[in-house]
Structure formats: structure tokens, C-alpha cells
């Protein structure tokens, strides 16, 4: 994991409170347990189609969300379960959408890749690689037009970073000074193609330089580093200085989707990352070594999270399938 040029990495640690660390621990653990459960339900045939798990990348969205305020918006790709949980959407509604039930956020009509929450300012959930990038710039455009200081977090992967519309968006975001943070979640594989084989520059954020957009890379396995970088980017956008790019170097432990055997990387590579760099384990060690929490405290949290996830799973199984007349609703407003 090469997070060179990580400017924010260590600086924030001394100031972090036990309460804050516990919050991140809880939020990251919720995502991981939720995704593990989703994988299990997929295996049981309760979730169908495409299902892209976020396991391994938890620190990215949790760290970024740590710097948000009410009114800020977020939009992402199809690997979206973590983002929804991190912005406070109900795990029950998310899981029930995965199972295609009436109680899901989109009443079962969106699925894993297409969920939204107006209340939490979560704008999807988009299945066409990079299409969410101009959409995110457009959300930022709407806030600038209305004259507020909200910021839009526009997430996309290293694979999406090779789509032309990303650079069309960079250009317009720069000339119109849109309050948008482009978050490149670089998990190093665009489906099965490694970054080295697909991307001309090792540090994707440097592509922003051509548009005059400042950016930096961040260690995405370190939630505190991500949070510090997020605060810096948010301050830039809120001050009306235009867009900012954060390239967060991360790693997904699972395949691209449930049907991906992941033959393009070695078992050892994944194992090494899990053992040496896991973000949740990192926070866990910080909590223990700093005497912020005991093993018992953390076990209690684990238990609590497990209960939330089990409750979501139960809800997603019990919630009925949508009524057949739902087929014909929500086509036109």
C-alpha cells in the first residue's frame, strides 16, 4: 500500500478523543458486518443480480463523512452500501432494498446499485461507471446557484477515473468554482484490471493539476488521515475556492462483485493487506493501546452491531415483495 505524499496522516492522531475513535470503530464495523451479512444473503439466493461489497474500504467513507455537516450531499457508484450506512441511512431499509422488498429505500425497484435518500442527501447509487461524476458536479452547481455553503462529495473509483466525462466535469467544476470534492476511491483494481495496466499516472489526483484543481492522496486504510484530509478539502470548498480532489488509496478484500473469482491478484496480496493494514483493526489497536476501551467494551460494541445487522437481515426477509401495481408507479412525477 503506497500512500506516498500523504500529508495529513499522523498529524491528527494526538487530538483524537476516545469518543471519536469509538464512533469510527462503530461505523466501520457496521459497514463490515452489514456487508458480510449481505454476502451471506446473496449466497442464500435472497439477494440477486449484482452486489458489490465495500469490505476493506470502510475507512474511506467513514473518514470523509466525519467532516460533513447537515445539507452536504453525497453521490457514488454502484459500490454504495457503505456510503448509505455512513450517512445515517437505516440498515433495515438498505438491506430490504438488496432483497428487493417493499421496505427497501426504493420500494424494491432500485436494488443494490440504485438507492437514494432525499432526507440524508444521498443521491445514489449509479450503475454506469463515472456517470455520477457530472451528476455530483451538478448537485454542487445547485448549491452554488442557491448561494449556500453546502459541499457535494462525489465518489468514484480508479476505473471510473479513465472515463472522459470525469474530465469534462473537472473542467466545468474548475471554471465555475463548484463546491465539489471529487473522491477517487482507488482500490487498485478496475474490476479485474490493475491500475498499472489501465492508468497512465500512478497518482490519479495529479490529473486535476491540468485543470487547476488542487488535490492530494490519502492513506485510505487510516480513518484519521482520511478525516483530516476531508476537513481540509471541505474547508477549501466551503470557502468558495472551487473543487478539490482526494485520491484515497484503499483496497477491497472481496471480488469486484459477488460473481468475481478475483483471479487477477494473489490470495497472499489480499491476506497481507488484511493482516497488516486493516482500518478497523488499526482503530481497535489505537483504542486498546491508548486505554480508551477494554476488550470487553469492544466486544460489547461488536455484539451491538451484530444485533443491528441481524435485525436488518430479518427485516429484509420479512418485508413483503412489492405489490405488483408498483411496476407501474414512479415512472412519471
8 Å CB contact between 137 and 166:
no
Residue 156 binding another protein, by CB under 8 A: no
8 Å CB contact between 50 and 305:
no
Among 25, 34, 42, 105, binds another protein (CB under 8 A): 105
Instruction: Tell me the closest approach of the beta carbon of residue 322 to another protein, in angstroms.
Output: 9
Set of cell numbers at residue 111: 436494488
Residue 14 binding another protein, by CB under 8 A: no
Residue 143 binding another protein, by CB under 8 A: yes
Q: Which stretch binds another protein (CB under 8 A): 37-45, 62-70, 138-146, 271-279?
A: 138-146
Residue 330 binding another protein, by CB under 8 A: yes
Nearby residues of 219 by Cβ (< 8 Å), 6 or more positions away: 1, 3, 6, 9, 225, 226, 248, 249
Residue 228 binding another protein, by CB under 8 A: no
Instruction: Tell me the closest approach of the beta carbon of residue 318 to another protein, in angstroms.
Output: 19
Among 63, 110, 159, 220, binds another protein (CB under 8 A): 110
Nearby residues of 37 by Cβ (< 8 Å), 6 or more positions away: 95, 309, 310, 312, 313
Residue 172 binding another protein, by CB under 8 A: yes
Instruction: Tell me the closest approach of the beta carbon of residue 323 to another protein, in angstroms.
Output: 13
Instruction: Tell me the closest approach of the beta carbon of residue 222 to another protein, in angstroms.
Output: 30
Instruction: Tell me the closest approach of the beta carbon of residue 100 to another protein, in angstroms.
Output: 12
Residue 137 binding another protein, by CB under 8 A: yes
Residue 142 binding another protein, by CB under 8 A: yes
Task: Looking at residues 292 to 321 of the shown chain, list those that interact with another protein (rule: CB under 8 A).
Answer: none
Among 127, 238, 297, 302, binds another protein (CB under 8 A): 127
8 Å CB contact between 201 and 269:
no
Residue 268 binding another protein, by CB under 8 A: no
8 Å CB contact between 104 and 98:
yes
Instruction: Tell me the closest approach of the beta carbon of residue 62 to another protein, in angstroms.
Output: 24
Instruction: Tell me the closest approach of the beta carbon of residue 83 to another protein, in angstroms.
Output: 15
Instruction: Tell me the closest approach of the beta carbon of residue 174 to another protein, in angstroms.
Output: 11
Q: What does the DSSP assignment read for 204-269?
A: GGGGGGGGT--EEEEETT-HHHHHHHHHHHHHHHHTT---EEEEEE---SS-SSTT---TTS-HHH
Set of cell numbers at residue 311: 435485525
How many angstroms separate the CA atoms of 27 and 86, rounded?
7
Per the document, the length of the chain is: 333
Taking CA atoms, 176 is separated from 34, 100, 127, 246, in Å, by: 39, 40, 27, 19
Residue 243 binding another protein, by CB under 8 A: no
C-beta of 118 vs 263, nearer to another protein: 118
Among 77, 169, 186, 188, binds another protein (CB under 8 A): 169
283: helix, coil or strand? helix
Taking CA atoms, 237 is separated from 88, 120, 148, 152, 174, in Å, by: 23, 20, 11, 9, 11
How many angstroms separate the CA atoms of 218 and 229, rounded?
7
- State the residues that interact with another protein by CB under 8 A: 73, 75, 104-110, 114-118, 123-128, 131, 133-143, 145-146, 164-165, 168-169, 171-172, 175, 329-333
Amino acid at each position: 500500500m503506497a500512500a506516498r505524499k500523504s500529508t495529513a496522516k499522523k498529524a491528527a492522531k494526538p487530538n483524537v478523543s476516545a469518543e471519536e475513535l469509538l464512533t469510527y470503530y462503530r461505523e466501520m464495523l457496521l459497514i463490515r458486518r452489514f456487508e458480510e451479512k449481505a454476502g451471506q444473503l446473496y449466497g442464500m439466493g435472497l439477494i440477486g443480480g449484482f452486489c458489490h461489497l465495500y469490505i476493506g474500504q470502510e475507512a474511506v467513507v467513514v473518514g470523509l463523512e466525519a467532516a460533513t455537516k447537515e445539507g452536504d450531499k453525497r453521490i457514488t457508484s454502484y459500490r454504495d452500501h457503505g456510503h448509505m450506512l455512513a450517512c445515517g441511512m437505516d440498515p433495515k431499509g438498505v438491506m430490504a432494498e438488496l432483497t428487493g422488498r417493499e421496505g427497501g429505500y426504493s420500494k424494491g425497484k432500485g436494488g443494490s446499485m440504485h438507492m437514494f435518500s432525499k432526507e440524508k442527501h444521498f443521491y445514489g447509487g449509479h450503475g454506469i461507471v463515472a456517470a455520477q461524476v457530472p451528476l455530483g458536479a451538478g448537485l454542487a452547481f445547485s448549491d452554488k446557484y442557491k448561494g449556500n455553503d453546502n459541499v457535494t462529495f462525489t465518489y468514484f473509483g480508479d476505473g471510473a477515473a479513465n472515463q472522459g466525462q470525469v474530465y469534462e466535469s473537472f473542467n466545468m467544476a474548475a471554471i465555475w468554482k463548484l463546491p465539489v470534492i471529487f473522491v477517487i476511491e482507488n482500490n487498485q483494481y478496475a474490476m479485474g484490471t490493475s491500475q498499472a495496466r489501465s492508468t497512465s499516472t500512478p497518482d490519479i489526483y495529479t490529473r486535476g493539476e491540468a485543470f487547476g484543481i488542487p488535490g492530494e492522496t490519502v492513506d485510505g486504510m487510516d480513518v484519521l488521515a482520511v478525516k483530516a484530509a476531508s476537513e481540509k478539502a471541505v474547508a477549501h470548498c466551503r470557502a468558495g475556492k472551487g473543487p478539490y480532489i482526494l485520491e484515497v488509496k484503499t483496497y477491497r478484500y472481496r471480488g469486484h462483485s459477488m460473481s468475481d473469482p478475483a483471479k487477477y491478484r494473489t490470495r497472499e496480496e489480499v491476506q497481507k493487506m488484511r493482516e497488516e493494514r486493516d482500518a478497523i483493526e488499526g482503530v481497535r489497536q489505537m483504542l486498546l493501546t491508548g486505554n480508551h476501551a477494554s476488550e470487553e467494551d469492544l466486544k460489547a460494541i461488536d455484539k451491538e452491531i451484530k444485533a443491528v445487522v441481524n435485525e436488518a437481515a430479518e427485516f429484509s426477509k420479512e418485508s413483503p415483495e412489492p405489490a405488483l401495481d408498483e411496476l407501474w408507479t414512479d415512472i412519471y412525477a
